[in-house]
Every structure is written in structure tokens, then in C-alpha cells.
Amino acid sequence: MNAFDSAITPFERASQLRYLTCGSVDDGKSTLIGRLLYDSKLIMDDHLLALEADSEKHGTTGDEIDFALLVDGLEAEREQGITIDVAYRFFSTPRRSFIVADTPGHRQYSRNMASGASNCDLAIILIDARKGVLTQTLRHSLICHLLGIRSVVLAVNKMDLVDFDPARFDEIVADYRAKTARNAFEQFIAIPMSARFGDNVSTRSELSPWYTGPTLIEYLETVEPPLAAGSQGFRLPVQWINRPNLDFRGYSGTIVSGEVAVGDQIAVPRSGTTSMVTGLIGPTGPLQRAGAGEAITLTLADDIDISRGDVLALAKDRPEVSNQFAAHVFWMVKDPLLVGRPYLIKLGTATQTATITAISHRIDVNSGEQAPAKNLQVNEIGFCNIHLAHSIVFEPYADNRALGSFIIIDRFSNQTVGAGMVEYGLRRGTNIHAQPADVTRQQLAMMKGQQPCVIWLTGLSGAGKSTIANLLQRKLMLLGAHSFLLDGDNVRMGLNKDLSFSEADRVENIRRVGEVAKLMVDAGLIVICSFISPFRQDRAMVRELMPEGEFIEVYVQTPLEIAEQRDVKGLYAKARAGQIKNFTGIDSPYDEPEAAEIVVDTAALSADEAADAILLAIKSRLQPAG
């Protein structure tokens, strides 16, 4: 085997560079990668034949080979001549091997560009020499910068179309540097080129004698992107508990930073417990020590409480544990990020409910400056405060990528809706501890002889919620029950008079109502809430505030046509005339409840019958718990 080793040395020993190509639509990203593959003779003959056939069918380069078709692998991409999703390509030269992420230029596919950029060390940002620096060029630069890429090649492409004019090249480079001054890259080079004809890609062009720097390939083969300073402390996010039998208990995960050795004293920062490392198992046998990047299983001297989501650290160098931090968030879906709405956050191996409590600002893509924001729209980047349901270990992204990066997941669609980078922990919350009350909620409920709860009426405007709620409260009073009614009218005039009807303020409106209702339930009351509350997430948020079984969702169901016919307050007419914006059912959606405890159909029942139906369903709560 040793004799053979020499034959493959170049491939084995060469270091690997992961980079991406980005920039605006039609700046030639895919063409450049195709050119690199072609020039390095890495296109297989059968692929080349297919490419020639494809070029005739879909190509945009006349009789010549259209290199973009090599990487635009999806049918829709070849048909439309654009890149939709990131493609990963592998190639090597004798000096180095490369993994290239070819990312899409369209604004609407920025999420795919970010996916590609998140694992890269260097970015090639392309510019069409005719068009110069575009908004999308700057957006991609900003995303690269936030994701921690420190090395950039500015590829001024299509120089053949501006006659390799050095003045034009200098003008573009100066413009780019000025516009990205706020978020400048540590390592920077600009290269004039033509990807289509290969000038300055792998061979020096005779058409640009004024350019004396390296060709693209020379540069990529030798560049050493600067490494992040980073923390060196041992951190192991626990992925999986390894328990084959009663005699073995191991903790599996990938070490994200630092080193650990058998005999080290380690700690579980979340609980504060400590123990000693008794064994390390790697994929190629037992180890005495292991370092960053290794996927290991670790055994300890003591049986201590460790579960997925915990982070193991050395006892003498423990990270902070907290439930609040400030972070940059890149928002990736059409539905905006709303302050106050609960999402899921996955950070390391921990997945938790989290709320964005404030957006300090968003970053203007063109100027790099801070701008005020109430929410984040698709493709916007904001600086947010985030509050987690439970404390976890995290670190600033600049120190530790693995414990400083997170994704935001929508709890209902399960989509990945945002990506974030922790800037710093917020300590604000640490001094507020829950105050245990001397008089318990059980005692208060007992005094009133009932089992308090929230009866939450949701439905379209005009469905009859208020009428039913009022009737219900009157019936409860006649039965001697203690209740209170919260509705839009009494809340919007006082507590929530600062809120508008924008989507963000509607979320906040429901959040405040939920908190007030919770206090009233704690006081022993049956609280009737009557709100359109159109968003499923917000109703779920209130449900989760309450103890199990104390949130009773009542769907007051009416077809839109009937509600619109009734139009008691004339609101539908105004909404149809465009005088009211964001009106539920007209230009703002209503998410029907999927598992309401009670459904009353007001097209079939009178308001009185509906109130009776609700009363019947909650009758058992009018007696003390027993």
C-alpha cells in the first residue's frame, strides 16, 4: 500500500478550499464555474457530449458551448436560463481541491445563496463590467460579510464587452470599495476577466496587458483566507445518548472547538454538574484526546443528567448560560418576521421556543446603514433581541460559529424561515425571578367555587362573537359564576390604544390580551375573550400561556358571504371600497382553527343557542375542582 501512496499524493495532500460564486443575475456565475471545470479538464467526455447537445437546445451562446448549462442542473433552470438553487461542484488542480457553491443571483432566491455561503471561506463576487455595482451585488456582499466570510475576489466579468478598458475596471472597483466600506472584507482582490472566453481565468489575457495581478485560478490555488480568532475552549454539543446496555452510557456529538483528553474534568453548564472523562471513542477506534471537528462518543465517571441540547465544556472554562441574546437575523420567507410571535430556534443541537422581543434596526442593503424597522420582510437583515423559553449555551458568532449560528423555524409550516448570528448575550433577564405567591391560584379558585379558564372566541368580523360573548356572560352571572369579558372594544380603548391594525401590532394586541387573561384566570375568573384573532400562531401562543386544559378555543364559524351580508358595523363595505386596510377575510387571511374545543356554526344556530352550546360544554367548570 505504501508504494502506491506516492501515486495519489497530490490529491491527498492538497488542502481544500470551499468558496462560492455570487453576484447579480446574468453576471456570469455559472459560466465562470463551467469555464473553470472545462479549463481544468474535469468535464468527462460523456458530460461534454450532453453539454454540446444541451447548448444547441437551450444555449444562449450561439454555436459555442454554453458553460452555464453544466451547472444549471434543474430543468426549469435550463429552460429559463437562470440559476434557481445553489449547486455544489467539485474540482481539483494539482495544487488544491475545491468545493464550489454556485449560487443564484435573483433576489427571490437569496435564501439559496445564503445556504451556499454559510459553509464557505471565500467568495467570488461577480460584476458585469457593463452594468457595474448593483443592489444585488451589495446584498450578496452584505450576506457574505455577516456570515463571516473574510476573503473576497471581485471578478469584473464580461470585460470583452467593454474592450478591456482599464478605466472602466478601476471605476467599478473604486465604486464597489466605497459602497462596501462599512462592511469591508479583510482580504480583497479584483480581477478583470471574461468567463465566456477564458481571459484571466486560468490563462493570462493578452487583451489586458495593464493587469499584472494573478489569474483567478492562480489566486485560488494559493490564497489562505484569514482564520477567525475564535474561542479555543472545549465545547461538545450533545447530539445523541449512546446506551447499548446497562453497562455503557456515552454522549455522542461533534466537538465544535477546543480539545478534550481522557482524565479531564468536564461540566454541564446548564445544570452545573461535573464529572471526569473516562473514555473517548472515535470512528477509528479509542482516542486519548480529541479536538475540533471530530465526531466522537465520550464516557464519564459519573451518571449525571445530560440530554440532547446540552453542551459539554471543561469544568475550568465554562461558557455562559442564558436565555436572551442579540443577533443579526436574515429573514427568508414572504410572511414577515413579527415581534412577539413565538418561533422555534435551533442552535447547536438544542431546539427551543423563542420570541423576537425587539428589532433594534434593519440594515439598508445599499448603504450598509441602520434603518428603523417594525418587522422584517423577506430578504431583509435585522438586528434583533431574542428570548428563549429556557437557558442554553451560546457564544458570539465571531468567536464560535457552531454555537453562534441558529436557524428560525416556523412552528406551523415547519419551514426554515430565518437564519441568525449571535452578536452578544443579554443579561437583562437574569435578575427577574418568578415571585412565588403566598395565596395560591388554587385557593383563589376554590373561594369562587369554580374552575377558572379562558373561553376564547375566534371568528370573522360579523360572525357574532360579541353577541354570543355577552349572552354567555349574562348566563354565567345568572348561574352565580364569576366571569369577565375581554373584547376588542374594552381593550383597544385602553391597554392597547397604542397599537395599529398592522400584522405586527395585531400580534402584540393578542399577546397582551393573553397575558391579561392569564392574570385574571390566576385570580379565579372565567375569562371570555372575543377577538377575531385570525392567526393560528397567536392563538397557540395564548394557549401555551395557560395550564393544560384551561384554554378553551371556540370557533364561531360563519361563511364569509354571510358575515359580509350582516355587516353590522358597515366594515366590510369600507374594506371592499379600500378604506380599511388589512381587513380579515378581505385583504388579510383568517387561519381556521384545526382543533377548536368547541365549534358553533352561526349560520345554523341563533346567538342564544350558540351561547347555550358553549355553556353546556363548560358546565363542569362551574363547580369547584374535586
Partner 1 sequence: MVTPPASAPPAASTATVQRPDILDYASRIEAGFPLGNVVLPKHLQQLQAEAIHIMREVASEFNNPVLLYSIGKDSSVMLHLAMMAFWPSKPPFKLMHIATGWDFHDMIVHRDELCAALGLTLLIESNSDATEQGLTPFNTDSREWARLMLIDMLKAGMDMHGFDAALGGGRRDEEKSRAKERIFSVRGPGQVWDPRSQRPELWSLFNGRLAKGESMRVFPLSNWTELDIWEYIRLCAIPVVPLYFAKPRPVVDRDGMLMVVDDDRMVYRDDEIAVDRLVRFRTLGDWPLSGCMESPANTLEAVIEEMMTSRVSERQGRMVDKDESASMEKKKREGYF
Binders of partner 1 among 253-272, rule CB under 8 A? 253-254
Q: Closest Cα partner for 188 from 125, 137, 128, 244?
A: 125
**Counting contacts by CB under 8 A, is residue 370 touching partner 1?**
no
Choices 107-115, 154-162, 217-225, 486-494; region in contact with partner 1 by CB under 8 A: 107-115
**Counting contacts by CB under 8 A, is residue 80 touching partner 1?**
no
- Which residues, numbered 32-51, are part of the site for partner 1 (CB under 8 A)? 44-47, 50
**Counting contacts by CB under 8 A, is residue 497 touching partner 1?**
no
**Counting contacts by CB under 8 A, is residue 295 touching partner 1?**
yes
DSSP one-letter string for 284-341: TEEESEEETT-EEEEEESS-----TT-EEEETTSPPPEEEEEEEEEEE-SSSPB-TT-
For the record, the C-alpha cell of 279 comes out as: 473514555
- Which residues, numbered 83-102, are part of the site for partner 1 (CB under 8 A)? 84-90, 97, 99
β-sheet bridge partners, residue 354: 343, 388
CB nearer partner 1, residue 44 or residue 174:
44
- Which residues, numbered 5-24, are part of the site for partner 1 (CB under 8 A)? 7-8, 11-13, 15-16
**Counting contacts by CB under 8 A, is residue 75 touching partner 1?**
yes
**Counting contacts by CB under 8 A, is residue 1 touching partner 1?**
yes
- Which residues, numbered 417-446, are part of the site for partner 1 (CB under 8 A)? 419
Q: Give residue 505's identity as a one-letter amino acid code.
A: D
Q: Give residue 28's identity as a one-letter amino acid code.
A: G
Number of shown-chain residues binding partner 1 (CB under 8 A)? 74
For the record, the C-alpha cell of 428 comes out as: 437583562
Q: How does 308-320 read in b/e, with b if 16+ C-beta sit within 10 Å?
A: bbbbbbbbeebbe
- Which residues, numbered 188-247, are part of the site for partner 1 (CB under 8 A)? 239-240, 242-244
22, 29 contact by CB (below 8 A): yes
CB nearer partner 1, residue 86 or residue 532:
86
Among 284, 288, 431, 435, binds partner 1 (CB under 8 A): 284
Beta strands in 401-461 (DSSP E): 405-409, 416-425, 453-458
CB nearer partner 1, residue 347 or residue 611:
347
**Counting contacts by CB under 8 A, is residue 277 touching partner 1?**
no
For the record, the C-alpha cell of 101 comes out as: 457553491
Min. distance of Cβ 363 from partner 1 in angstroms? Answer: 18
CA distance 191 to 169: 9
- Which residues, numbered 237-256, are part of the site for partner 1 (CB under 8 A)? 239-240, 242-244, 248, 252-254
Which helix (DSSP H) or strand (DSSP E) does residue 23 occupy?
A: strand 15-23
CA distance 288 to 280: 7
Whether 360 is a known active-site residue: answer no
Min. distance of Cβ 350 from partner 1 in angstroms? Answer: 11
DSSP one-letter string for 86-132: -EEEEEEETTEEEEEEE---SGGGHHHHHHHHTT-SEEEEEEETTT-
**The cell 442593503 sits on which residue?**
365
Q: How does 112-121 read in b/e, with b if 16+ C-beta sit within 10 Å?
A: bbbbbbbebb
**Counting contacts by CB under 8 A, is residue 54 touching partner 1?**
yes
Min. distance of Cβ 79 from partner 1 in angstroms? Answer: 10
Min. distance of Cβ 254 from partner 1 in angstroms? Answer: 5
Choices 292-300, 423-431, 490-498, 560-568; region in contact with partner 1 by CB under 8 A: 292-300
CA distance 592 to 571: 21
Min. distance of Cβ 517 from partner 1 in angstroms? Answer: 29
**Counting contacts by CB under 8 A, is residue 294 touching partner 1?**
yes
CA distance 137 to 154: 10
For the record, the C-alpha cell of 386 comes out as: 431574542
Among 74, 437, 447, 604, binds partner 1 (CB under 8 A): 74
Min. distance of Cβ 255 from partner 1 in angstroms? Answer: 9
CA distance 296 to 388: 28
- Which of helix, strand or coil describes residue 203? strand
Min. distance of Cβ 235 from partner 1 in angstroms? Answer: 14
Which residue is catalytic, options 461, 483, 533, 588? 533
What track of x and - describes contact with partner 1 for positions 320 through 359 (by CB under 8 A)?
------------x-----------x-xx-x----------
CB nearer partner 1, residue 295 or residue 603:
295
What are the catalytic residues?
A: 533
